[in-house]
Amino acid sequence: MELPPRPKLFDFHGVSMTHYFTDNWENIQNFQARPDDILIATYPKAGTTWVSYILDLLHFGQTAPERQTSLPIYERVPFLESDFHILPPGTELADKLSTSPRLIKTHLPVQLVPKSFWEQNCRVVYVARNAKDNAVSYFHFDRMNQADPEPGDWNNFLQRFIDGKMVFGPWHDHVTGWWERKQTHSKLHYLFYEDMVEDTGRELDRLCSFLGLSPSAEEKERVRGGVQFDNMKKNNMANYSTVSIMDFKISPFMRKGKVGDWKNHFTVAQSEQFDEDYKKKMKNTTVQFRTVV
């Protein structure tokens, strides 16, 4: 299949975007959430697929085991704002979901989320990842994913990341915007990738308590095993190997799954420049990240 050219970034309501996430904007804005919908919100590459898979297993692992072998994760958990033309738009996939609850993924910064999710007081799981590892993961993803702008070399990419010229805007605004929303939307569970790596079982318990679920110890252990990095990497329903716009010869979607890989990419000078800029941009927030565990 001939791939379309890589898309260009443009300003959309003050956020850098590509047409794949704005072509369907009217339907996105008017999307009708249901009170039991669960919105999984993240900056790209923060662990969206991991948490999506966890939530899917927690909710449907027992009742609909056939999903696990027949439906790729991006069909179980529609990507709300996407309109990639190789699949129906995210809003349409979500409208067609017959599950309850519906699990819906978004990378939108908090101010662009359709208002219906707030009106319906939906549960939201936000996953955040430290900026340095997030940047590295995004770089490798953009190398292999034809649906994002060309990343260029690491140095250029990192500068763009610092400047916030990324699809879905600056990392800093994203993680802090959602952190602030937690103060007014009590049904928002803010989860850190680093905590998940450190102790997946503990984070599963916290998630279950937020979701009002009480799986048996055996069931929880089954979920914990199923969502380990190596198992997800092998799992064709979770590893995106079925997506034509991604070139796994360049880099796999399930790449390393580690905290601290940034140390293999940042030079000392890049790290210092990054930290200096970070301090300025994050000085007014209380959200704290760990870059090692």
- Give the dihedral sign, CA 196/56/206/112: positive
Instruction: Say whether residue 227 binds ligand A3P (CB under 6 A).
Output: yes
Nearer to ligand A3P, 33 or 196 (CB): 196
Cβ 171 to ligand A3P shortest distance, Å: 12
Q: Which of 13, 19, 107, 172 is catalytic?
A: 107
Nearer to ligand A3P, 164 or 257 (CB): 257
Write down the residue that tokens 């898979």 correspond to. Answer: 53
Nearer to ligand A3P, 11 or 205 (CB): 205
Nearer to ligand A3P, 119 or 292 (CB): 292
Active site residue 107: yes
Contacts to ligand A3P from residues 110-139, by CB under 6 A: 133, 137
Among 18, 24, 42, 270, binds ligand A3P (CB under 6 A): 42
Site string for ligand A3P, 140-159 (x = CB under 6 A): x-------------------
Specify the stretch interacting with ligand A3P by CB under 6 A; choose among 38-46, 110-118, 211-219, 266-274.
Answer: 38-46
Nearer to ligand A3P, 27 or 152 (CB): 152
Number of neighbours of residue 286 by Cβ within 10 angstroms: 9
Q: How far apart are CA 51 and CA 127, in angstroms?
A: 8
Instruction: Say whether residue 50 binds ligand A3P (CB under 6 A).
Output: yes
Instruction: Say whether residue 49 binds ligand A3P (CB under 6 A).
Output: yes
Cβ 191 to ligand A3P shortest distance, Å: 12
CA terminus-to-terminus distance, the chain: 42
Strands 123-128, 38-42: pairing is parallel
Contacts to ligand A3P from residues 162-221, by CB under 6 A: none
Cβ 51 to ligand A3P shortest distance, Å: 8
Instruction: Say whether residue 232 binds ligand A3P (CB under 6 A).
Output: yes
Question: Which positions are catalytic?
Answer: 107
Residues of the shown chain interacting with ligand A3P in the complex, contacts defined by CB under 6 A:
42, 44-50, 133, 137, 140, 227, 229, 232, 254-257, 261
